[in-house]
Structure 1
Amino acid sequence: MKFEAIKKETVMLMPQKEPALQRTPSEIRIDPLTGRTARICHFMKLAWEKPDFETLVAGTDAWCPFCGEKVHQLTPCFPEDLIAEGRMQKGDMVIFPNMAPYDSIGAVAIFGARHYIPMTEFTPSHMASAFGFTLDFFRRVAASGHPESVYHIVNWNYMPPAGSSLIHPHLQVFSSSSAPYLMQLELDASRRYFEQNQSTFWDDLVAAEKAGGERYLKQIGRTHWMTAYAPMGVAGDVLAVVEDARCTLDLTEPDLIDLATGLSCVMAEYDKMGIYSFNMNFFTGTAADGHFRFHLLFSPRTFFSQALGTPDVGALRNLFNETVCMAYPEEINTMLKAAF
């Protein structure tokens, strides 16, 4: 397992400081699987000021299509040959078609009737129940024999900085025969790694990170938690790899509890930094992909400038697909370990 980095240094004169000569390090890290590069630079203290949530949330429930009876009045229904009852319901959680679908089988799963849930108030049992509900949906899709029942993906955009246009917490859920770009890169690279090494990259990664200790956080059940070596988020990413699980449908009820427990730990520590928004994705293979392991990626979202509302995605990320992280993942790991 190679953890490669190109180390750089910027030298500049700072007229208002003593000594005037300043040297600033940076790194270009190379993802050990795909070769994707990430820049560790723009170093700053990982601390942000949270907004006034009362002001942010105020009045948004009045027009929210997921609140109260509106979820049954305004949201569409699945065709009968896919979901006979039109929408799936479990307690106050509802799954219905996404009106702006990413694929042929695209859905939204709301966490329940509560319009606003602070990041630190998502309990492991609540998250595990929501994830389990999405698995029920995926199993229904698979049982229907639909040709898109190949990759079963859950995305979570929590709060506006992460790309959510609604405050009401929800998951974006879809089954697709077309793997998203980065997931396809990982699937292809995992296959090549297996052919070359006769071992599974993800198992080797867990073993290497566990032995190294700099980025490993904890094992919960058969789920291994670590900070990503080449993160995509400005405040790092957290990766959870599930032993022996090739795809989403391999996840068991205990796995969902373990994933939700780890997520609650991660959320608690990022909340202390002032971060209140994140993206989370399921990365999945198929049941036939023995070279792959299901993993979850959690990426906190914030602003480069909160005063101006400057998003944390600029030209480097948006056009070059080159990511920027403002701290070493090993330092972020030290901060997160307090919750584990």
Structure 2
Amino acid sequence: MEFIATRKETQILNPAKDLALRSIPSEIRVDPLTGRTARICHFMKLQWQKPDFDQLVAGTEKTCPFCPDKVLKITPLFPREILPEGRLIDEDRILFPNIAPYDTLGAVATMGDRHYIPMTEISVERIVRSFNLAFDFFRRVEAVDHPEAVYHLINWNYMPPAGSSLIHPHLQVFSTASAPNLMRQELDAAKGYLEANQSNYWEDLVAHEKADRERYLGAIGRTHWMSAYAPMGVAGDVLAVVSGARSTLELTDQDLRDLADGLTRLMAGYDRMGIYSFNMNFFTGAKDDAAARFHLLFSPRTFFNQALGATDVGALRNLFNETICMAFPEEIKTMLEPDFDLL
């Protein structure tokens, strides 16, 4: 396992300092598994100004399809052969078909009837119960032996900077036989690593990061949390690897609680930086895939220019799929450490 980085330097004559020579560093990192590259550059203090949330949220509940006065009236139902009751309901959490599905089996799961929940008020219990609702769906599609019941995925787009078109907290839930691009690349590379090294990449990664400590945050149960070496997001990513679990449905109730615990810690840490939005994705192997380990990726989202609403995904990321992070992951790990200090 290699952690490759190419260090570069740009030199400019700075007009603000009488044309004094200024050197600006950057770094290109290579993901140890896939070979994907990420650029560490555009360095700045990781501190943003939060918006006026009252103004941002005001009036959005009037047309929100997930609020309790509308959700059972306007959301669709699954066909009886997939889900006889049409929707899954757990008190104020409701799972129903995604009207704009990503795949054959696409669902949305609301995280309760509260329309807006600040990031730091999303509790472990709320996440656990929302995950459990999604897992009920996954088990249902497995029980009917649906051909798409191979990879069971949860995506979470929290707030508009992360691509959420609705304020109301909800999860994207889907089962698919078609692994998404990065997940497929990881699965293929992990199989190659297993064949070449006779060991599991993810277990080796955890062992390395735990021993090295540069990016390792700690363990909650059998879930290991670390700042990603080659991050996708401009403010870094955090990777959580569940040791011993190959696929989503191998996660235990305690694993789900441990994952939820870690997620709330990350939300608290990034909230201090002024970041109020994030993406979270499940990455999973198929059943009995010895090379795979279940992991999730938490990626905070913000703006390059908050006043203009300039997205943090520009041409480099969108067309080259080359990511930019504005701080070293090792520094981001240090910023998040206070939230993992008991581990």
TM-score where L is the length of structure 2: 0.98
State the secondary structure of the residue aligned to 1:289: coil
Amino acid at match of 2:42: H
**What residue is the counterpart of 1:90 in the other structure?**
90
Q: Deviations over 1:44-82 (max 9, x none)?
A: 000000000001001000000011131111000000011
**What residue is the counterpart of 1:124 in the other structure?**
124
CA RMSD of aligned residues (A): 0.7
Q: Distance in 2 between matches of 1:52 and 1:270?
A: 17
Q: Distance in 1 between matches of 2:18 and 2:157?
A: 44
Question: Which structure 2 residues correspond to residues 40-119 of structure 1 after superposition, within 5 A?
Answer: 40-119=40-119
Q: Does 1:159 align with 2:142?
A: no
**What residue is the counterpart of 1:262 in the other structure?**
262
Task: Confirm or deny: 8 A CA contact 2:65 2:71 kept in the other structure.
Answer: yes
**What residue is the counterpart of 2:11 in the other structure?**
11
Q: Deviations over 1:269-305 (max 9, x none)?
A: 1000000000000000111211110001000000000
**What residue is the counterpart of 2:210 in the other structure?**
210
Task: Confirm or deny: 8 A CA contact 2:150 2:287 kept in the other structure.
Answer: no
Question: Which structure 2 residues correspond to residues 133-144 of structure 1 after superposition, within 5 A?
Answer: 133-144=133-144
Amino acid at match of 1:158: Y
Question: Which structure 2 residues correspond to residues 191-340 of structure 1 after superposition, within 5 A?
Answer: 191-340=191-340
- Structure 1 residue 15: deviation in Å? 2.0
Q: Which runs of 5+ in 1 are unaligned?
A: none
- Structure 1 residue 84: deviation in Å? 0.5
Task: Confirm or deny: 8 A CA contact 2:10 2:24 kept in the other structure.
Answer: yes
**What residue is the counterpart of 1:35 in the other structure?**
35
Moved over 2 A (4+): none
Q: Distance in 1 between matches of 2:68 and 2:136?
A: 23
Q: Distance in 2 between matches of 1:114 and 1:152?
A: 26
Q: Distance in 2 between matches of 1:205 and 1:88?
A: 37
Question: Which structure 2 residues correspond to residues 172-183 of structure 1 after superposition, within 5 A?
Answer: 172-183=172-183
- Structure 1 residue 18: deviation in Å? 5.8
State the secondary structure of the residue aligned to 2:16: coil
Q: Distance in 2 between matches of 1:239 and 1:208?
A: 14
**What residue is the counterpart of 1:188 in the other structure?**
188
Q: Distance in 1 between matches of 2:222 and 2:248?
A: 14
State the secondary structure of the residue aligned to 2:290: coil
Q: Does 1:24 align with 2:24?
A: yes
- Structure 1 residue 126: deviation in Å? 1.2
Amino acid at match of 2:319: L
Q: Distance in 2 between matches of 1:46 and 1:16?
A: 23
Q: Distance in 2 between matches of 1:68 and 1:294?
A: 33
State the secondary structure of the residue aligned to 1:152: strand
Q: Distance in 2 between matches of 1:157 and 1:257?
A: 20
- Structure 1 residue 19: deviation in Å? 7.3
State the secondary structure of the residue aligned to 1:61: helix
Amino acid at match of 1:212: D
Amino acid at match of 1:59: G
Q: Distance in 2 between matches of 1:134 and 1:45?
A: 37
Q: Distance in 2 between matches of 1:296 and 1:281?
A: 6
Amino acid at match of 1:210: K
Shifted more, 79-88 versus 124-133: the winner is 124-133
Q: Distance in 1 between matches of 2:293 and 2:204?
A: 11
Identity of aligned residues (%): 67
Amino acid at match of 1:275: I
Q: Distance in 1 between matches of 2:236 and 2:214?
A: 14
Q: Deviations over 1:156-194 (max 9, x none)?
A: 000000000000000000000000000000000000000
Task: Confirm or deny: 8 A CA contact 2:227 2:333 kept in the other structure.
Answer: yes
Q: Distance in 1 between matches of 2:76 and 2:129?
A: 23
State the secondary structure of the residue aligned to 1:262: helix
Q: Deviations over 1:96-116 (max 9, x none)?
A: 000000000000000010000
Q: Distance in 2 between matches of 1:337 and 1:242?
A: 19
State the secondary structure of the residue aligned to 1:82: coil
**What residue is the counterpart of 1:149 in the other structure?**
149
Amino acid at match of 2:260: A
Q: Distance in 2 between matches of 1:240 and 1:124?
A: 16
